Amino acid sequence: MKNYRGSLLFVAGFACALSAGWLAFPRAEYERQNQPVQFSHKVHREKGGMKCEDCHAIREDGTFSGIPAVDKCAGCHASPMGTTDEEKRMIKRYIEPNREIPWLVYARQPENVRFSHAFHVKLAKLACERCHQAHGDSDSLPAFERDRVSGYSRDILGDNALPVAGRHPGMQMDDCIGCHQRRGVQDSCLACHK
Amino acid sequence: MGLGRRDLLKLVGGGAAGFFLTPVPWRLIDGVAIRTESWPGVPDPPRGEVRAKYTTCTLCPAACGVRARCVVDQPVSLAGVASHPSSAGVLCPAGLCGHHLPLLPNRVREALARKGDKFQPVPVDTVAGAVAAALADMRQSGSAERVAVLDARPGRTASLLYRRWLRAAPNGMYLLAPSAEAAAPMGIDIERTGTVLSFGAPVLDGWGTPGRVLEARKSFRLIQVETRQSRTALMADGWLPIRPGTEAALALGIANVLIEEKLYDAGAARNASDFAAYAALAAQFPPQRAAQLTRIPAETIVAAAHDFVGHGPAVAIAAGDPGGGPLGEGERTAIAALNVLAGSIGRVGGFLPRGEAPRPAGFEEAALAPENAIAEAPDGSIRVLIVDDSRAVGTWCWSAIERKLAATHIVVAMTEFLEGAARHADFAVPAPAYLEAVEDAPAPPDVPAAMFSLAGALLKPPAQAVEGADFLNRVAGGGAALADVLKQRVASIHASRRGEVFHYADGTRTAVKDVKSADDLWKALEEGGCWIERQPGPRGKIRVAILGGAGDRVLEAAAGRLAADAQFPLALLPYGWRGAAGSTVSPIMSKLYQESDVRAGGDTIELHPDTAQRYGIADGEVAIVQTRCGSCQRRVRIDESIMPGVIQAEVGPSASGNCRPEALLNACGVAGDGTWRLARASLRRA
């Protein structure tokens, strides 16, 4: 027994580290934050009859409208249209004081990156879901998972993050370069970093 | 059964081995690396809606169209405007980084008064009061001393206001900064030019309107006459490495060949009032003599002359250097004369006359003080000097203006940064930086069309910032505000019903006669547009005076600017780069100097290996350059492309990012004609 004691202790330490690294760390790495308003794309699409482009459009000058400003919401929600507490809370907190909703953006890139939606959607014909998942059918917004170390969203890291079932491809520089290489797009630093 | 030391070590060892088989260390390394991008101190622009706004670049006279990508109202990146009539979608590196300038830490945000070697904050009205008191004293005493405005960006509506104010001021004098690229009555039809003979002009490195020149490059041949192997010389079709200071001799040598071989445009010569005198002058410089002076072989000079007129239309360009300052009058006259011989004055592909944006009433030439070079001001005559050298495109030597100041004087610098003239001034008054105020951009000097653009204000200026013209109103206790005069000028353009407006946002054009009101025209220009009016074409014969009374100065310049001097055997050549010589640049630009060899840097000199060996100086060592006027200390770079016996010294940001070339320029000294581009020097290791 004494002969095996040392080996057992080594294996125990090894197993503990593996468990902590593969099971506990993935849960501790990300800080979950709820969005300031529980927005339902499904309700807006099905009951409101809205299309994606009503809020997320590429303008004629090539800029992307991104997430609409609170003015856009106020166009319909100046007073409650439904009966939910969430809508009333949004009107009181953001629309009445004309305060922008501090959305937590899953796809937010670093400041030194310039991403053109016009190039990727219009020229490269990439589907919105390639990066943003099928948000258009969701009834509520998923929690924003912020990496405690880097500060970026788990969606940016994608499969580069820890293996969690159902993650989609990431939006890190390696992902951009990989996709560009597969499609034969010429790369230069200034293409994205201006 | 307790855990002993060895047991504990085995447990920890097992844990450590397991740790490296988990994603933890790799994720931590990656996460920390990404985190460093957003450490405290890294600028964090506002989050919000992204919009494109349009404006015009006023960092240099090229007046390029700008598309600003704004997050909320903050410009975060700038780009050119495709199909812009003059800039053709191009922005230079300085223009691409222009939105950084208002944020730089050395901004002047409040008025400053000199106290000894330092500046202390004072109210702007205190500065205006000091100037007003000096003017009142001059009026009362009937002094012959002068009040002057030195303008580094002539041709603006603000410049008209300066000139009108000076007309009413006691002995008012409007001075052009030597670095100023003043608007000429003619532009170059470079799109249809066959050959460009450039005497030192950085044609392919920021000269004129860079986008337009680069667009036209495929259609013209370029012969570059320059001592140093500049970027333009490298990319030219031919490079004539000339002995420093002998450009006039080469121009006369080429003229001699053209006249002797009757290759000149006889019709154009007949329109010149003094062709006979000019021909007599050129006759003194046969190719052999020009070769002796310039050290360019005689056969090369003959070939250059044939090349010049053989692929017409041809233009000869005499432009100074942003760091080395202007060419002398003698050189300019000798080079300009080649255009008469080539028949390129008033000819398609040559120099074409152009108009000017209509001025409002009260701004006719007769109501304005005339334009003067600094050299025209008598020494010791200026009591009050207002310097507007914000966004100067090149440097200028303070000693050129210092000698013009009276014993008792006030110097006020209208400035964005405590650099250049502001460092010598008694007062520094904050001026709005680029993108902070509505201002106009006149036609670029090289464009053969009348143009007028507005640069809209995309950012708020500091609370105390004031335009130079509005500062003068405070001194005078009233007067038309610049913003009002700009609106009057736009109304004048509208009333003229001439020209058309190019809209930056969609690339369309609208005839001015189709614009409903002056307010609509203002809105179109302010939101991103330029007014343009092209002349219908060459109109009749243009009579010229080739020498214009400057024959003596041409002869003097042709003899060579550098006399032999055993004590100072080397030639010191300052040079610079438009946008970086003498003006503040974005840190991204100075990064070019710090981390690459793209530009030499403002703390270096460049030597040929033989020159360095003769003086026992190795690459990277520090050397002292000594002239009769002073000395400066610089790091040496050895480069085989430098002409032996020449010291090239770049005027530009040093590794620290500052651009303070005073020691170098003072060492060069200012000649009687206001030039400082060449000096005799010696060298020793520091």
Instruction: Give A106-165 pLDDT, tens digit per residue.
Output: 988 887 788 889 989 988 898 888 888 888 888 889 999 999 988 899 888 776 545 554
* Gap from A45 CA to chain B (nearest CA, Å): 23
- Cβ distance A99 to A93 under 8 Å? yes
**B45:A14 CB<8 A:** no
Residue by residue, DSSP assigns B439-476 as EEEE--TT-SEEEEEEE---SPPPTT---HHHHHHHHH
**Rounded Cα gap, residues B502 and B515, in angstroms:** 12
| Residues in Cβ contact with A167 at an 8 Å cutoff, skipping those fewer than 6 apart | A154, A158, A159, A161
- Cβ distance B436 to B411 under 8 Å? no
- The distance of Cα B675 from the centroid of its chain, to the nearest Å, equals 15
Q: Which pTM value belongs to this model?
A: 0.81
The pLDDT value given to residue A168: 65
Residues in chain A within 8 Å Cβ distance of B7? 5-6, 9
Q: DSSP character for B523?
A: H
CB-based contact (8 Å) between A57 and chain B? Answer: no
Q: Which chain A residue's Cα is nearest to B18? A: A14
CB-based contact (8 Å) between B30 and chain A? Answer: yes
Task: Kindly report the number of other CB atoms within 10 A of residue A59's CB atom.
Answer: 12
Q: DSSP character for A91?
A: I
Q: Which of A10, A22, A72, A105 is most worth mutating to test chain B (most B CB atoms within 10 A of its CB)?
A: A10
Place of tokens 């002797």: B260
* Gap from B553 CA to chain A (nearest CA, Å): 49
Residues in chain B within 8 Å Cβ distance of A21? 18-19, 21-24
Angle at alpha carbon of residue A128, lines to A123 and A131, rounded to 5°:
110
Q: What is the helix (H) or strand (E) element at residue B484, kind and residue range?
A: helix B482-496
Task: Give the type of residue at B227.
Answer: T
Task: Give the type of residue at A172.
Answer: Q
CB-based contact (8 Å) between B2 and chain A? Answer: no
- Cβ distance B493 to B357 under 8 Å? yes
- Cβ distance B208 to B62 under 8 Å? yes
Of the candidates A90, A85, A52, the residue with the CA atom closest to the CA atom of residue A68: A52
CB-based contact (8 Å) between B32 and chain A? Answer: yes
The pLDDT value given to residue B653: 74
The pLDDT value given to residue B137: 92
Residue by residue, DSSP assigns B335-349 as HHHHHHHTT-BTSTT
- Cβ distance B535 to B353 under 8 Å? yes
Half-sphere exposure of B668 (CA within 13 A, CB side): 31
The pLDDT value given to residue B369: 94
* Gap from B107 CA to chain A (nearest CA, Å): 24
**Rounded Cα gap, residues B542 and A192, in angstroms:** 52
Q: DSSP character for B328?
A: P
pLDDT tens digits for B416-472? Answer: 988 888 888 999 999 999 999 999 999 998 999 999 999 989 999 999 999 999 999
Angle at which helices B247-260 and B287-294 pack, to 10 degrees?
Answer: 160
* Gap from B94 CA to chain A (nearest CA, Å): 13
The pLDDT value given to residue B582: 67
Task: Give the type of residue at B498.
Answer: R
pLDDT at A46 over 50: yes
CB-based contact (8 Å) between B13 and chain A? Answer: yes
Q: Which domains are seen in chain B, by residue range?
A: 7-37 (no CATH), 112-181+355-527 (3.40.50.740), 186-353 (3.40.228.10), 562-685 (2.40.40.20)
pLDDT tens digits for B259-268? Answer: 999 999 988 8
Given B31, B48, B51, which is nearest A63 (Cβ)?
Answer: B51
CB-based contact (8 Å) between A5 and chain B? Answer: yes
**Rounded Cα gap, residues B321 and B544, in angstroms:** 26
Write the secondary structure of B121-175 as one string of H (helix), E (strand) and C (coil).
ECCHHHHHHHHHHHHHHHHHHCCCCEEEEEECCCCCHHHHHHHHHHHHCCCEEEE
CB-based contact (8 Å) between B11 and chain A? Answer: yes
Between β-strands B371-373 and B172-176, what pairing exists: parallel, antiparallel or unpaired?
parallel
**Rounded Cα gap, residues B256 and B283, in angstroms:** 6
Between β-strands B382-388 and B529-534, what pairing exists: parallel, antiparallel or unpaired?
unpaired
- Cβ distance B249 to B596 under 8 Å? no
- Cβ distance A151 to B34 under 8 Å? yes
Q: Chain A 100-139, CB below 8 Å of chain B: which residues?
A: 100, 110-112, 114
In the three-class reduction of DSSP (H, G, I as helix; E, B as strand; rest coil), residue B120 is classed as strand
Of the candidates B186, B220, B238, B232, the residue with the CA atom closest to the CA atom of residue B312: B220
* Gap from B17 CA to chain A (nearest CA, Å): 6
Between β-strands B74-80 and B65-71, what pairing exists: parallel, antiparallel or unpaired?
antiparallel
The pLDDT value given to residue A165: 45
Residue B553 vs residues A57, B334, B550, B558, B673: alpha-carbon distances, Å: 66, 9, 5, 8, 10
* Gap from A134 CA to chain B (nearest CA, Å): 23
The pLDDT value given to residue B595: 63
Q: Which chain B residue's Cα is nearest to A9? A: B11
Place of tokens 């929600």: A77
- Cβ distance A121 to A58 under 8 Å? yes
| Rg of the Cα atoms in chain A | 22
Residue numbers of chain B with a pLDDT score lower than 70? 1, 43, 393, 536-540, 582, 590-598, 654-659
**Rounded Cα gap, residues B456 and B56, in angstroms:** 8
Given B13, B21, B52, which is nearest A18 (Cβ)?
Answer: B21
**Rounded Cα gap, residues B3 and A174, in angstroms:** 47
Tokens of B589: 């630009």
